[in-house]
Amino acid sequence: MEIVQHVDVIGDDRIQAILDDPRNFNLRAIRAETLQDWIPDIGTYLAPNVCRAQHGVFRTAGLARSGLPAILRHRFFEAQDAERVVGARYIGLLIYDSEGDDYIFEISAGSEVVGAVRPWRHDNRRHLIVASRPANILGGHIPFTVQAVGKGMCYLESVLFLPALPEASSFAPTIERLSVRTMPGPADQLVAEVHFITAEAATAAVEAIPPFRGRFFGHGSESWEVRLALSEVGPAK
């Protein structure tokens, strides 16, 4: 199935606001009509230890290694539910994206293929992944299907049906808790230790500029400048 672009939303407050919006329909994964090779998270010892606001479905290590796809299928027989999902809807998947996950979600509405989305950050937090291509749902009685292919826990909390595509969250890396310590080095050299963390996964490049008289930290009458540059980590090729 063709992989389509997706919008990635993070932050529990913002995700909850989307869930609470009456224009959106929230299908809790644990309440789907059919769950195949997915385990409902009802707090058993097999349930993963993740931070979540609502229980979902997941795959055990054995299921993940089996190579079998996990399938969620649902029909909307109640009239009030069908009215909220019929028509053009953007499909959002509320997941907990864990380290070690590697899978795609294939989305279809009856015989119409919407496309597949591939989460790639795997940063141990909740993501609302919304396919940028809308699904055209012709009727509530037509089976709507989400199929997960790949390996990992694949924790799915909800499937959302949205009339509009939400704005993506920013993943621009930022520097936090920056500190620099200088100390004398061998052969009358100066050693600088730079410590920091980033709010998002990023690659960092640290550059030391040759001595000059200036306003930074110095050794004797000479000063050094240390430049720190961040770049966002992209999906694996």
Please return the burial class of 65, using the count of CB atoms within 10 Å of its CB with bins 0-12, 13-18 and 19+: exposed
Q: Does residue 213 carry a pLDDT above 50?
A: no
pLDDT value, residue 210:
66
pLDDT value, residue 48:
64
Distance CA 203, CA 137 (A): 42
Could you read off the pLDDT of 221-235 as tens digits, one per residue?
A: 456 676 777 777 666
Q: Residues with Cβ < 8 Å from 18, sequence gap 6 or more?
A: 9, 24, 92, 128, 160, 162, 166
Higher pLDDT, 116 or 219: 116
Q: Residues with Cβ < 8 Å from 6, sequence gap 6 or more?
A: 117, 118, 129, 130, 131, 132
Give percent of the chain above pLDDT 70: 85
Would you list the domain boundaries of the chain? 6-162, 175-232
Assigned superfamily of 6-162: Galactose-binding domain-like (2.60.120.260)
